[in-house]
Structure 1
Amino acid sequence: MEDEPTEQEHLVLRSPAQFKALGHPVRHRLVNVLRQRPATLGQLTAALGSTKGTIGYHMRILREAGLVRLASTRQVRGGTEQYFALVSRGFKLHEESGVGPEFLINAALAEMLPPRPGQGGRTLLRHLWLTPDEADALATRLQAYATDPPPADSSRGEAYGLLVSLYAADIPALSPDEHDAESR
């Protein structure tokens, strides 16, 4: 028995129930684990080091929000084992959802691990002075890179998060320095 026959490319998030479901740290972690492959409650419980009751509760909320589906079932020792999967490869924020970049930034902060000893940080904040055309071109290149990542595969190495945001920054511009103009 299956809830939905195939996975969508990207689910557009728009309902408060979806954002509430993803806003909880356990459910956020469950979604990230399910990016690897469909899994049973037992497998999810072991991966997150939690209890079956806790994982079952959070999975129910994710299913009710339309983020997770029953992918398949199989008979085991007189019972039925259920495999759960994400409904899509990725999620996108609906433009009119009322949720902005802070939702994604908070999600990234919640899953961010500190660097290991001897491993420098990989998080940078830089400000670029670009024309609107240059900003559009850069956003297009970054989005293309982030849109088609390799499939989630824990045998290939560790998981890394990628948060891409090219935003207009609230940084006032200085007027030209009269001293610099005189020295030219």
Structure 2
Amino acid sequence: MGDPLTLSSPAQFKALGHPLRHRVVNLLRQRPATLGELTAALGSTKGTVGYHVRILREAGLVRLAGTRQVRGGTEQRFELVSKGFRLGEEAGVGAEFLLGAALAEMLPARSGPGDHTSLRHLWLTPDEARALAERLEALDPGRHETANPGAEAYGLLLSLYRADIPRLPPEE
């Protein structure tokens, strides 16, 4: 798994737009897994998970990582084709897609500590914005959540965009 895959086709957005497929992708970010492992983690059925994995494979987001013989059958292990995904310039639905995916993870909100959602604005020069985007990109999104047994998954939705906020004139 090398550089992030650029998402551009309708099939890719459709594949990632379904909540269960989005959860499968999140599981495969941890490590390659078999259909049985995915089914157990999702609390679903093998037929349902198998269908959604097939949609992700047809969209070019998941691939077969390997097979092995088990009790007279063949067990398949699946992995993501890329360590991360990036929106293509021509992806007009990019923002809506990302917000929808993040919203599906946030709602229904779990009660208790850990809900830290806020909207903030930074005032940056174009050079500062570019430098910040590069620093955020350099963070290692591939750190495995299983490294710390007490760790819980937190979603992080970052979007560095030029906001349409007018400027007040200086105070007199």
Same fold at TM > 0.5? yes
Equivalent residues in 2 for 1:35-54 (5 A)?
A: 35-54=29-48
AA matched with 1:100:
G
Q: Secondary structure at the match of 2:51?
A: helix
Q: Deviations over 1:28-78 (max 9, x none)?
A: 000001111111111111100011111011111011111111111111111
Q: Report deviation, 1:120.
A: 5.2
Q: Report deviation, 1:12.
A: 1.3
Query: CA separation in 2, counterparts of 1:133 and 1:125?
Result: 22
Q: Report deviation, 1:153.
A: 3.5
Give the match for residue 12 of structure 1.
6
User: Taking structure 1 as reference, are residues 9 and 131 closer, same or farther at Cα in structure 2, changes over 3 Å only?
Assistant: closer
1:61 aligns with 2:39: no
AA matched with 1:88:
S
Give the match for residue 129 of structure 1.
123
Give the match for residue 3 of structure 1.
none
Out of 138, 146, 149, the residue aligned to residue 141 of structure 2 is 149
Q: Report deviation, 1:165.
A: 1.1
Q: Report deviation, 1:163.
A: 1.4
Q: Which moved more, 1:75-84 or 1:124-133?
A: 124-133
Identity value in percent: 72
Q: Which moved more, 1:166-175 or 1:22-31?
A: 166-175
Tell me the TM-score normalised to structure 2 length. Answer: 0.88
Give the match for residue 96 of structure 1.
90
User: Taking structure 1 as reference, are residues 131 and 143 closer, same or farther at Cα in structure 2, changes over 3 Å only?
Assistant: same
Q: Secondary structure at the match of 1:136?
A: helix
Q: Deviations over 1:114-170 (max 9, x none)?
A: 3542x253222112223323323333333323xx23522425222222211121112
Equivalent residues in 2 for 1:13-28 (5 A)?
A: 13-28=7-22
Task: List alignment gaps of at least 5 residues for structure 1.
Answer: 1-6
Query: CA separation in 1, counterparts of 2:4 and 2:123?
Result: 32
Give the match for residue 84 of structure 1.
78
Give the match for residue 158 of structure 1.
152
Q: CA RMSD in A?
A: 1.8
Q: Is the 8 A contact 1:39 1:83 kept in 2?
A: yes
Query: CA separation in 2, counterparts of 1:81 and 1:140?
Result: 40
Q: Secondary structure at the match of 1:103?
A: helix
1:34 aligns with 2:36: no
Query: CA separation in 2, counterparts of 1:144 and 1:15?
Result: 26
Q: Is the 8 A contact 1:93 1:99 kept in 2?
A: no
